[in-house]
C-alpha cells in the first residue's frame, strides 16, 4: 500500500542522482579498477532506491552519534561541514571527516560507520575494512593528525565500538599508488580472480574423509553453476559487467545471488 509509493520515490531519486567521478577519502581505498571506472566517467549499473535508503540510514546514524557526543559533553567536537574541508593535493580534492576532537592536546579525526552484525563483530576485534582505514588515513594526512578514531554503530542492536587507527606510511603510499593507477589511460588489472573451484571440497572433487567423488560438484572440483565473479566485492560492484563481460545472476546452493559469466568469458 505505502511501500510501493516509497520505493518508487526512492528509485526515482536514485535515477536522478548525479554520479560523481571524483576521488575522495571515501572511495580511494576501494578496488583500484573500480576507481578507474569512476574516474573515467563510466556510469555502471544505476543505483537502486534501496541503496539510497541505506545511505540515508548511515547519515542518520552519524547525526545520532554527533548528538550523543554533545549529550556526553565530549570536548571540541566539530561536526563535518563543507567549510571545514581541506584540500589534499594527492587526491586533487577536498575532504572532511565526520568530526575532530582533542585528547590531552592531541587532535584526532573521527569517522562514524554503521555496520552489520558481521562487520561489527570484526570491528570489535580491531579488524577494519581496508577501505575505511584508507579513508581515515586520508583524513589524518589532511588534518595533520597522528591518529584517527573509527566509531562503529551496530545497526541491529545499537551497540557501539571504537577502533583507534594509527598513521601508516605504507598505507599512504598504497593510496597514492591507487590514485595514479585510477588516473592512468588504461584500466589496472582486476585485483580479484574468478571463482572456479567448488567451495565445499576446495577444488579437489573428493570428500575429505573417504575420498569419494564430491556430490555437489559431481567430482569435478568445479562450481557446477560457475565460473562466478567473487561474491564480494565484485557481486556488489556497479561496474561488474564492464569489468567481467556478460553476466547472469544465479542462486548458489545456500540461496545467495551470485553472478555467473556467460558467453565467451564462461568458456575461457
Is residue 198 a contact point for Zn ion (CB under 5 A)? yes
Among the listed residues 240, 258, 260, 261, the single contact to ligand SF4 using CB under 6 A: 240
260 binds, among Zn ion, ligand SF4, none (CB under 5 to 8 A by kind): none
Is residue 223 a contact point for Zn ion (CB under 5 A)? no
- Map the footprint of ligand SF4 across residues 175-234, applying CB under 6 A: 190, 192, 233-234
What is the C-alpha separation between 132 and 113, in angstroms, rounded?
9
CB of 26 to ligand SF4, least distance (A): 15
Among the listed residues 23, 69, 198, 243, the single contact to ligand SF4 using CB under 6 A: 243
Q: How open is the CA angle 265-244-35, to the nearest 5 degrees?
A: 165
Phi-psi region of 168 (alpha: psi -120 to 50; beta: other; left: phi over 0): beta
Q: Based on the number of CB atoms within 10 Å of its own CB, is 224 exposed (0-12), middle (13-18) or buried (19 or more)?
A: exposed
What is the C-alpha separation between 115 and 77, in angstroms, rounded?
22
Is residue 217 a contact point for Zn ion (CB under 5 A)? yes
- Map the footprint of ligand SF4 across residues 33-72, applying CB under 6 A: 33-34
239 binds, among ligand SF4, Zn ion, none (CB under 5 to 8 A by kind): ligand SF4
What is the C-alpha separation between 141 and 165, in angstroms, rounded?
12
- Residues forming the site for Zn ion (CB under 5 A): 198, 201, 214, 217
Amino acid at each position: 500500500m505505502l511501500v510501493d509509493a516509497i520505493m518508487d520515490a526512492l528509485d526515482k531519486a536514485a535515477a536522478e542522482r548525479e554520479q560523481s567521478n571524483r576521488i575522495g577519502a571515501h572511495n580511494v581505498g576501494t578496488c583500484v579498477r573500480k576507481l578507474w571506472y569512476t574516474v573515467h566517467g563510466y556510469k555502471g549499473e544505476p543505483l537502486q532506491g534501496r541503496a539510497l535508503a541505506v545511505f540515508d540510514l548511515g547519515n542518520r546514524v552519524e547525526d545520532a552519534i554527533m548528538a550523543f557526543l554533545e549529550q556526553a559533553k565530549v570536548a571540541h567536537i566539530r561536526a563535518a561541514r563543507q567549510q571545514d574541508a581541506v584540500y589534499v593535493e594527492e587526491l586533487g580534492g577536498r575532504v572532511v571527516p565526520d568530526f575532530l576532537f582533542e585528547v590531552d592536546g592531541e587532535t584526532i579525526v573521527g569517522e562514524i560507520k554503521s555496520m552489520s552484525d558481521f562487520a561489527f563483530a570484526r570491528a570489535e576485534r580491531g579488524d577494519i575494512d581496508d577501505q575505511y582505514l584508507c579513508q581515515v588515513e586520508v583524513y589524518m594526512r589532511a588534518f595533520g593528525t597522528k591518529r584517527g578514531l573509527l566509531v562503529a554503530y551496530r545497526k541491529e542492536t545499537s551497540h557501539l565500538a571504537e577502533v583507534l587507527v594509527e598513521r601508516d606510511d605504507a598505507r599512504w603510499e598504497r593510496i597514492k599508488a591507487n590514485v595514479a593507477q585510477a588516473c592512468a589511460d588504461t584500466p589496472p588489472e582486476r585485483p580479484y580472480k574468478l571463482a572456479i573451484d567448488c567451495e565445499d571440497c576446495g577444488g579437489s572433487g573428493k570428500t575429505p574423509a573417504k575420498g569419494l567423488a564430491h556430490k555437489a560438484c559431481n567430482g569435478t572440483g568445479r562450481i557446477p553453476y560457475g565460473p562466478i565473479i567473487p561474491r564480494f566485492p565484485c557481486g556488489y560492484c556497479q561496474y561488474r559487467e564492464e569489468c567481467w563481460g556478460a553476466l547472469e545472476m544465479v542462486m548458489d546452493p545456500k540461496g545467495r545471488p551470485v553472478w555467473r559469466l556467460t558467453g565467451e568469458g564462461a568458456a575461457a
